[in-house]
Amino acid sequence: MNKAITVSNITKSYPGVLANSNVSLEVSEGSIHAIVGENGAGKSTLMKILYGMVKPDDGSISIFEKITQLSSPKDAIDSGLGMVHQHFMLADNLSVLESVILGIDNATLKNINLRRYKSEIMEVINKYNLNINLDKTIDELGVGEKQRVEILKVLFRGAKILILDEPTAVLVPQEVEELFNNLRDLKDNGVTIIFISHKLDEVLEIADEISVMRGGVMVNTVDSENISKKELAEMMIGKSLPKPPERQSSVGDLKILSVENLSASNDDGKDIFNDITFDLQSSEILGIAGVEGNGQRELVEAIIGIQEYNSGSIRLKDEIIDDLGIRERLGLGISFIPEDRQAQALIMDMTLTNNIILGRQSLKKYKTKLTTVNLSNATTASESVIGNFDVKTPNANTIATALSGGNQQKYVVGRELEDNPTLLIASQPTRGIDIGAQALIWEKLRSTRDDGLGVILISADLEELIGLSDRIVVIYQGNFVAELKPDEITPEILGSYMTGLRK
């Protein structure tokens, strides 16, 4: 069979990191080829090189058996490559049609022939069964639909090779199934697909061939028919896959938090969440499962006081906290790990020590007599977090930007656990970080829970949710639709509740 892509001996190094070392890869035309590896294995760098975004130090690339120089995404597009990024490259304010044709015409003052484009695009949509409405604006679309727009974008540009970077990270199992059906349609029409992932089940299901990367090196390429998940995992990380440790549930009897009939609506009067009632005990991790945008984010933000609610009541231990501001609630012992550490939990160009005060401004120990900021206590606390959470940093006076994502996250988790909180709200606590940091955070969450902490956990990683939680509630369109026992369910079952297929 002809080769769609041949990568020969690519090497790329960054200061202090060898991202790709002598990497070679062959992808057959019309196949689905997966590349697996954990974060930092060098997959993204390889893809950026393929897509002309990064120039390799050494090595060559052939596309359809022709040596090709790729010095910009435009070169890659011209030679038939198309990339679907993990973060959608879509502008909310543009229409689907505009998003698809953006950049196809040269930047001139000629009239855009919208009607002609529309019929041409409809042909592509029909050919691959894509189910997209061209007249909507992007912000009206759901996640799966946005992804289809991304695929349409590259197909319409005549891509014969499709690179998908972690395409399932944002999807629930049912959407994944729909995506896979689309991918099979594409393959049947002769499109070559490169599928980057670290989810081995999915890779085994969809891929014809699988290449494994580890530490910047291409470890092996195997046929997906002839390999088991376990073997694949061992190739990928050199040992077996991490999973949250086994549950030993020991829920306490002290009521930490009780939420009663909580409802909130947005400015247009549309419900965000509706009549939510639940309790949280000490030494309990309550998982909230839901597809993004179903109200779970707003619900936890209501608990810390960011989201306003129209009715209902929140009680922390014995105290009703409805009338308290965010700072007062945090002062009562609520800790919060927001989903986006860089945007929400850290001041990136401040030092770690300055960051430890963030969210703890009202805490006595960070103040002196004249209500000034007490930097010496902050330094002590900061150093203790660095030590306890194995944060890799030169010292406590390093600015947060200088740390890797995993270390930033460990520092945030450490800070939120530093002052013996009563309640911890953890939103996506291990998203996008390396396996080592993930394991450490899991262990810390678990051990502080054992010490009596009540935890509310939100995670898109359903394995994590099931593995860590003592109890799981499912939120769908702003309502709690199910309460489940983690040891009785699988991600697939959970997914069907989350998408409203099962009630």
Partner 1 sequence: MDDLINFFKKKYVIIAPLLIIIFIAQNEQYSQLTSSGTFGSALRLSIPILLAGLGGLFSERTGVVNIGLEGMMIMGTWFGAWGGFMYGPWGGVLFGLIGGGLFGLIHAIATVSFQVDHIVSGVAINILAVGAARFFNILAFDGIAFASSTASPRIEGEVGKFNLPFLTGGTLNGNETSNILGDLENANIFLISDISGLLVGLTSNISYFTIIALLLVPISVYVLWRTPIGLQMRSVGEYPSGSESLGVNVYLMKYIGVIISGCLAGLAGAYLVLEGPNVYLQGQTGGRGFIGLASLLFGNYRPLGVLMGAGLFGFADALQLRSEEAIHGLLIAVALFLFVLTINNLSKRNFKVSTGTFITGLFFLVWYLNSTSVPIQFIYFTPHLTTLVVLSFSKQKFRMPKKVGVAYKKGELN
Partner 2 sequence: MKLRLRLVSLSAPLIALMLAVSLTSLILLGIGKDPIETFRMMFEYGSTGKSIVSVLNRTTPLYISAVAVAVGFKMGLFNIGVEGQYLLGALLAAAIGTSFAISRPIHIFFIMLIAVVASSLWAAIAGYLKVYKGIHEVISTIMLNYIGTGLIAYLLSNIFFDKDEKNAIPQTVELPESGRLPALNNLFGIEDLPNLHGFLPITILLGLIYYLLIWKTTLGYDLRVTGANPIAARFSGVDPKRLTIIAMIISGGFAGLVGMGPLLGYFHQYTIDFPPGLGFAGIGVALLGRNHPVGMFLGAILFGFLERSAQILDLRGVPKEIETMMSAFILLIVVVFYEIIRRYILTQQIKDASKKIGEN
Residues with Cβ within 8 Å of residue 488, at least 6 apart in sequence: none
Nearer to partner 2, 161 or 346 (CB): 346
Applying CB under 8 A, does 73 fall inside the site for partner 1? yes
Q: Which two tokens stand for residue 87?
A: 């973060």
CA–CA separation, 409 and 338 (whole Å) = 10
User: Which x/- pattern over 331-370 shows residues binding partner 2 (rule: CB under 8 A)?
Assistant: x----x-x----xxxxxxxx---x--xxxxxx----x--x
Which residues ranging from 149 to 208 are in contact with partner 1 (CB under 8 A)? 153
- Report, in Å, the least distance between residue 247 CB and partner 1: 36
User: Which one of partner 1, partner 2, none is in contact with 320 (Cβ closer than 5 to 8 A by kind)?
Assistant: none
Please choose, out of 81-89, 331-339, 416-424, 476-484, the segment that lies near partner 1 by the rule CB under 8 A.
Answer: 81-89
Q: Which two tokens stand for residue 378?
A: 């902050």
Nearer to partner 2, 99 or 354 (CB): 354
Task: Yes or no: say if 288 and 475 are a contact pair by the CB < 8 Å rule.
Answer: yes
| Residue from 374, 377, 380, 381 nearest 419 by CA | 381
Q: How far is CA 316 from CA 12, 330, 377, 422, in A?
A: 53, 11, 28, 9
Nearer to partner 2, 150 or 416 (CB): 416
CA–CA separation, 84 and 173 (whole Å) = 19
Applying CB under 8 A, does 107 fall inside the site for partner 1? yes
Which residues ranging from 408 to 447 are in contact with partner 1 (CB under 8 A)? none
Nearer to partner 1, 103 or 245 (CB): 103
Nearer to partner 2, 74 or 392 (CB): 392
Count of beta carbons in the 10 Å neighbourhood of residue 496: 19
Applying CB under 8 A, does 106 fall inside the site for partner 1? yes
User: Which one of partner 1, partner 2, none is in contact with 90 (Cβ closer than 5 to 8 A by kind)?
Assistant: partner 1
Q: How far is CA 165 from CA 4, 325, 406, in A?
A: 18, 41, 20
Helix (H/G/I), strand (E/B), else coil: 277: strand
Task: Yes or no: say if 25 and 6 are a contact pair by the CB < 8 Å rule.
Answer: yes
Applying CB under 8 A, does 108 fall inside the site for partner 1? yes
Applying CB under 8 A, does 83 fall inside the site for partner 1? yes
User: Which one of partner 1, partner 2, none is in contact with 357 (Cβ closer than 5 to 8 A by kind)?
Assistant: partner 2
CA–CA separation, 260 and 275 (whole Å) = 8
Helix (H/G/I), strand (E/B), else coil: 161: strand
- Report, in Å, the least distance between residue 97 CB and partner 1: 10
CA–CA separation, 191 and 194 (whole Å) = 10
Q: How far is CA 150 from CA 130, 138, 278, in A?
A: 11, 11, 39
Applying CB under 8 A, does 266 fall inside the site for partner 2? no
* Burial classification of residue 347, based on how many CB atoms lie within 10 Å of its CB (0-12 exposed, 13-18 middle, 19 or more buried): middle
CA–CA separation, 357 and 362 (whole Å) = 9
Applying CB under 8 A, does 91 fall inside the site for partner 1? yes
Nearer to partner 1, 107 or 370 (CB): 107
User: Which one of partner 2, partner 1, none is in contact with 434 (Cβ closer than 5 to 8 A by kind)?
Assistant: none
| Residue from 231, 161, 243, 244 nearest 203 by CA | 231
**β-bridge partners, 480:** 475
Applying CB under 8 A, does 275 fall inside the site for partner 1? no
Secondary element (H or E) of residue 494: helix 491-498
User: Which x/- pattern over 39-58 shows residues binding partner 1 (rule: CB under 8 A)?
Assistant: --------------x-----
Please choose, out of 4-12, 72-80, 264-272, 399-407, the segment that lies near partner 2 by the rule CB under 8 A.
Answer: 399-407
Which residues ranging from 242 to 271 are in contact with partner 1 (CB under 8 A)? 267
Q: Please identify which residue in 7, 41, 49, 101 interacts with partner 1, judged by CB under 8 A.
A: 101
Residues near partner 1 (CB under 8 A): 53, 72-74, 77, 83, 85, 87-94, 98, 101-112, 153, 267
Residues near partner 2 (CB under 8 A): 15-16, 304, 306, 325-331, 336, 338, 343-350, 354, 357-362, 367, 370-373, 392-394, 398-399, 401-403
